[in-house]
């Protein structure tokens, strides 16, 4: 039996032994191969990541503020009916044709631009006709007032040509002559009486006649003074009547002119709120006057914004220099093509928000801006003189730990002892916390954490796995590494650039050095 088992298990055990030996040899080969690869990998040199760095510089950087604002029409007029009457013509709506025939007619359409009073060939031309109220009642009233004025003028002429003064003066002269004659007759009768040629009764009679003549002279003189006074009073009353009649004519003409509602300013006309045939004017609505339409001046357009009170002194100084240049961003981040400038700063600060009102105007020739639109205002309100700056991409937002940069520094002694790789590196990237004051045109103003001349990493930050990592450094010129946003500078920026106050890529104040006429010979 045992022999039979041996005979049966022999081939099986032989195949198992061969398989085991084969597996062991294979494992041994793999182990040897792996050891060889490990040895080879240890023999390879360590390659440090290459980063691009620039030196920290000092520059004068403008203080730029970005504030939310709202557009406002610099001039806005609500057209109202100042006289009562039926609306005869109004701005034309879609598909409506203008009225033809004699007389003024409204030819403009809703939503179009109207012209206000303007000078043409040296003469003032009234604004465009926008609404027309029925004129017939006011024309009749004006005709009646004109007739009353002419009648008053006739009465004045009659009073001025009156002869009452001359008549009274002639009567006084006549009465004085009669008085002198009575005195002569009295004297003659008295002489005859003394000669006993005339009775005493005749003397008394002529004496009485003389007294009557004297009293008649006094009465005539009084009548002359009264005539003179009446003449002046009549003239004054007639002139007053003429003035009153002329004022009534002027008022009637004014009321008639109110029937033609003309544009007082140039701008875009809004919707006609009242249609033809409606009764308009005072006491026809709760607001006493009927609002017909509005005209908004669109060019230039006004912008209201509220900077922080911390900019008050700077804004005041810049207003004295002609205002603050500003740019608008509309519909999100779309830059408005025209530049604006401030012209007004309020005299109070809002206690709840610690802001103050600033008004600006911006050219709007195409009418793309409308009143009431929210915009972002970017304006230069000051500067950081001789500030530390680095390219914006060099600063990393570390969340709770704050902002930081990687500064190129020599390795510490402890790091050098860690291995030959660190000793051969020569430089490491150290993390340094910084405080950022402001960002301007691809630059960040650093308040604390850096010193001028330090090398900060700008590109290759993703290759730095940990602070203190050895790196290979490629130093580049500062201006080449600044990424300027695609935003046009304001006129104030250009002025500061021209004066050499602002220096950043693409806007250097000093001209580039001239290129030599012939290249220098290559040195060996």
For the chain, 524 residues long, give each residue's pLDDT as a single digit of tens: 344 434 443 444 345 444 444 545 444 444 445 544 544 445 566 688 999 999 999 998 887 788 899 999 999 999 999 899 999 999 998 878 888 878 789 999 998 999 999 998 889 999 999 999 999 999 999 999 999 999 999 998 988 888 777 888 888 888 888 888 888 888 888 888 888 877 888 888 888 888 888 888 888 888 888 888 888 888 899 999 999 999 999 999 999 999 999 999 999 999 999 999 999 988 655 555 678 999 999 999 999 999 888 878 878 887 887 888 888 999 877 889 899 999 999 999 999 999 999 999 999 998 889 999 999 998 877 778 889 999 999 999 988 889 999 999 887 644 444 433 433 446 899 999 999 988 888 899 999 999 999 999 999 998 888 888 899 999 999 988 988 765 545 555 555 555 544 444 443 333 333 333 333 333 32
Query: On the CB side of 84, how many CA atoms lie within 13 Å of its CA?
Result: 5
Q: Domain coordinates of the chain in residue numbers?
A: 50-60+386-498, 75-94+102-135+259-296, 139-256
Query: On the CB side of 516, how many CA atoms lie within 13 Å of its CA?
Result: 4
* Euclidean distance between CA atoms 428 and 415, whole angstroms: 10
Contacts of 422 (CB under 8 A, 6+ apart): 411, 415, 416, 428, 470
* Euclidean distance between CA atoms 106 and 96, whole angstroms: 11
* Euclidean distance between CA atoms 191 and 200, whole angstroms: 11
Q: Is 261 helix (H, G, I), strand (E, B) or coil?
A: strand
Contacts of 278 (CB under 8 A, 6+ apart): 86, 87
Note if the pTM is more than 0.85.
no
Q: Are 66 and 81 in contact (CB under 8 A)?
A: no
pLDDT digits (tens, 9 = 90+) for 2-13: 444 344 434 443
Tokens representing 98 are 């203008």
* Euclidean distance between CA atoms 78 and 63, whole angstroms: 40
pLDDT digits (tens, 9 = 90+) for 415-425: 444 433 433 44
CATH T-level fold of 75-94+102-135+259-296: OB fold (Dihydrolipoamide Acetyltransferase, E2P) (2.40.50)
Cα dihedral 277, 281, 286, 291 sign: positive
Give the architecture-level CATH label for domain 50-60+386-498: Beta Barrel (2.40)
């Amino acid at each position: 039996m045992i022999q039979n088992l041996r005979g049966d298990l022999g081939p099986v055990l032989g195949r198992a032994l061969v398989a085991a030996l084969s597996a062991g040899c294979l494992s041994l080969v793999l182990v040897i191969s792996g050891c060889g690869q490990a040895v080879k990998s240890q023999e390879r040199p360590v390659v440090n990541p290459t980063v691009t760095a620039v030196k920290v510089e000092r520059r004068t950087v403008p203080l730029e503020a970005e504030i939310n604002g709202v557009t406002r029409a610099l001039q806005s007029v609500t057209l109202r009916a100042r006289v009562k009457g039926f609306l005869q013509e109004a701005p034309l709506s879609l598909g409506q044709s203008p009225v033809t025939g004699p007389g003024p007619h409204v030819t403009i359409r809703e939503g179009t631009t109207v012209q206000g009073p303007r000078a043409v060939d040296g003469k003032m031309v009234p604004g465009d006709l926008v609404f027309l109220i029925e004129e017939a009642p006011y024309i009749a009233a004006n005709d009646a007032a004109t007739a009353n004025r002419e009648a008053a003028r006739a009465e004045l002429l009659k009073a001025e040509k009156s002869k009452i003064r001359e008549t009274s003066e002639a009567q006084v002269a006549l009465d004085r002559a009669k008085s002198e004659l009575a005195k002569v007759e009295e004297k003659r009768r008295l002489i005859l009486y003394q000669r006993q040629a005339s009775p005493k009764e005749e003397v008394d009679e002529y004496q009485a006649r003389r007294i009557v003549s004297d009293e008649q002279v006094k009465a005539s003189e009084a009548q002359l003074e009264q005539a003179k006074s009446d003449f002046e009073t009549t003239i004054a009353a007639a002139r007053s009547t003429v003035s009153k009649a002329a004022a009534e004519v002027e008022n009637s003409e004014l009321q008639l002119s109110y029937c033609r509602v003309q544009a007082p300013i140039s701008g875009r006309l809004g919707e006609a709120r009242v249609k033809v045939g409606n009764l308009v004017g005072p006491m026809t609505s709760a607001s006493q006057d009927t609002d017909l339409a509005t005209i908004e001046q669109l060019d230039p357009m006004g912008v209201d914004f509220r900077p922080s009170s911390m900019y008050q002194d700077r804004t005041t100084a810049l207003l004295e220099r002609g205002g603050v240049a500003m740019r608008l961003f509309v519909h999100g981040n779309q830059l408005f093509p025209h530049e604006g400038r401030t012209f007004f700063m309020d005299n109070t600060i809002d206690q709840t928000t610690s802001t103050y009102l600033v008004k600006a105007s911006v050219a709007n020739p195409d009418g793309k801006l409308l009143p009431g639109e929210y915009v972002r205002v970017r304006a230069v309100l000051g500067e950081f003189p001789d500030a530390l700056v680095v390219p914006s991409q060099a600063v990393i937002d570390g969340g709770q730990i704050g902002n930081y940069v990687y500064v190129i520094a020599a390795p510490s002694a402890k790091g050098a002892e860690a291995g030959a790789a660190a000793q051969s590196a020569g430089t490491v990237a150290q993390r340094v916390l910084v405080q950022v004051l402001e960002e301007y045109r691809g630059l960040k103003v650093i308040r604390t954490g850096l010193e001028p001349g330090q090398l900060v990493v700008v590109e290759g930050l993703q290759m730095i796995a940990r602070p203190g990592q050895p790196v290979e450094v490629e130093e580049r010129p500062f201006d080449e590494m600044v990424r300027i946003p695609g935003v046009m500078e304001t006129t104030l920026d250009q002025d500061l650039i021209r004066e050499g106050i602002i220096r950043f890529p693409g806007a250097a104040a000093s001209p580039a050095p001239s290129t030599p006429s012939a290249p220098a010979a290559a040195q060996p």
